[in-house]
């Protein structure tokens, strides 16, 4: 691998050239500080004193994480003129301490409230595999930054799939840990209950390296696991419906390969749990209710500054009464315990990350089409935010990107077991 500064200069040159492929990926680039960090990393490499596996790696951060001296806009017009952050978010501090070269703030859905990735304020980055298609959201620029080799690792947030959706649609690895694993301070919130922080990368190994830094752990190699003997459950039913044929075909091929390699792949009747988040939230969602709280002053005084599609979703949360909100929270805790018991004999669940191939951007200008697509993109990944289970999206070896979601049991990110299982599945499905 060439030096950090050389790799950074190639990225900066590509961004300066301003081709359609790189437009709207970054909301701002930290040119001077990135060059200084890259030069320092190269000096440590020459001296044989690297800070760890992220030293000198080019990392993008979603534009909802505070970076000292930079404005955090959360993809909005409303915050475009806000004062710069006075200090780094904890995850940014940890990245710097690990020697990462922070390239810039990546574009995102306004206030992280959509899985599609469109942004009328900052523009919409085209998908890394097809500029005419959506990038996925809300960490849209994060996915494209890695997919277009404008960063080597991206840091995003995931409330209902916002790391895993762009990973799936751009052919990347995306990891959502359990919520408590990575601190969320210094990140503009969408949902106090469901927000998580995780990486997007080209390999499970890079995602694991980033995860250990974000979690404040000492760097260590992943445990080595084999596919043979894995107990993998397939939650047939709801989460396999309304799916593109190409997605189902790719997932079934992956399941067949896993079975042929010695994994025990079994169909599991889990629809009582998989459908519970939607049944419980028919009158309103936790995300919308908590977003309504976060935005209550601005929606009254600055409504015109919002993307109307985002504003409409926030306002739906204003109608959820307190008793229903508390009831959802209590039911969620009870369901988590029963699902944990149900999954005790499995190593992981495997299913499509999202049921769709990336649709064209111009096909979603109609509000009804946007809403329908957004709900489908969020459906599968959001279930596992609701249950706070760690989940990994792996790219499948097919022409148009399709993600395979691997969902671990509770706590399987603390011991890094889910990432180790993901690495074993990656070796089988994506031999290098």
Catalytic residue among 33, 76, 114, 138: 138
Going by DSSP bridges, is the β-strand pair 173-176/391-395 parallel, antiparallel, or unpaired?
antiparallel
**Single pTM value for the model:** 0.98
Query: Residue 1: what pLDDT?
Result: 79
Domains within the chain, CATH numbers bracketed: 1-275+330-432 (3.90.1300.10)
Residue 316 a catalytic site member: no
Q: Extract the tokens encoding 152.
A: 């080597």
Write the CA distances from 147 to 57, 112, 126, 204, 425, integer angstroms.
15, 20, 11, 15, 21
Residue 432's pLDDT band (cuts 50, 70, 90): low
Residues 239/352, Cβ–Cβ less than 8 Å:
yes
Catalytic residue among 76, 140, 157, 162: 162
Residue 62 a catalytic site member: yes
Catalytic residue among 62, 212, 382, 393: 62
Residue 76's pLDDT band (cuts 50, 70, 90): very high
Residue 138 a catalytic site member: yes
* pLDDT above 90: percentage of residues in the chain: 99
Residues 244/88, Cβ–Cβ less than 8 Å:
no
Give the tens place of pLDDT for each residue, 1-20.
799 999 999 999 999 999 99
Give the tens place of pLDDT for each residue, 214-238.
999 998 999 999 999 999 999 999 9
């Amino acid at each position: 691998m060439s030096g950090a500064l050389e790799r950074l200069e190639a990225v900066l040159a590509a961004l300066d050239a301003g081709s359609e492929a790189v437009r709207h990926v970054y909301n701002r680039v930290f040119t001077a500080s990135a060059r200084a960090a890259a030069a320092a990393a190269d000096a440590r490499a020459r001296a044989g004193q690297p800070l760890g596996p992220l030293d000198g790696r080019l990392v993008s951060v979603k534009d909802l994480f505070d970076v000292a001296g930079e404005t955090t806009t959360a993809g909005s017009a409303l915050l475009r003129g806000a004062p710069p952050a006075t200090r780094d978010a904890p995850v940014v501090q940890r990245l710097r301490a690990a020697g990462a070269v922070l390239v810039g703030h990546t574009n995102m859905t306004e206030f992280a409230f959509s899985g599609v990735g469109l942004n009328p304020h900052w523009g919409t980055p085209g998908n890394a595999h097809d500029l005419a298609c959506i990038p996925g959201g809300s960490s849209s620029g994060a996915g494209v930054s890695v997919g277009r080799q404008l960063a080597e690792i991206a840091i995003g947030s995931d409330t209902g799939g916002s790391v895993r959706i762009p990973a799936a649609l751009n052919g990347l690895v995306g990891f959502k840990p359990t919520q408590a694993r990575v601190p969320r301070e210094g990140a503009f919130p969408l949902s106090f209950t469901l927000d998580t922080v995780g990486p997007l990368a080209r390999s499970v190994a890079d995602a694991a390296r980033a995860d250990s830094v974000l979690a404040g752990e000492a760097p260590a190699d992943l445990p080595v696991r084999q596919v043979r003997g894995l107990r993998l459950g397939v939650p047939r039913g709801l989460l396999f419906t309304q799916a593109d044929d190409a997605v189902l075909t790719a997932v079934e091929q992956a399941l067949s390969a896993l079975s042929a390699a010695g994994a025990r792949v079994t169909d599991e009747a889990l629809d009582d749990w998989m459908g519970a988040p939607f049944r419980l939230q028919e009158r309103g969602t936790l995300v919308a209710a908590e977003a309504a709280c976060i935005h209550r002053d601005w929606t009254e005084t600055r409504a015109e500054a919002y993307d109307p599609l985002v504003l409409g979703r926030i306002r739906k949360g204003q109608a959820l009464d307190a008793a229903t909100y508390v009831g959802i929270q209590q039911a969620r805790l009870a369901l988590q315990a029963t699902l944990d018991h149900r999954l005790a004999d499995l190593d992981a669940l495997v299913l499509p990350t999202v049921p769709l191939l990336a649709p064209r951007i111009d096909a979603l200008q109609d509000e009804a089409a946007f809403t329908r697509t957004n709900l489908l993109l969020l459906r599968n990944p959001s279930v596992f935010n609701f249950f706070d289970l760690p989940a990994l999206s792996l790219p499948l070896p097919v022409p148009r990107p399709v993600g395979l979601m691997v969902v671990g049991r509770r706590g399987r990110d603390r011991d890094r077991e889910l990432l180790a299982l993901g690495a074993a599945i990656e070796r089988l499905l994506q031999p290098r």
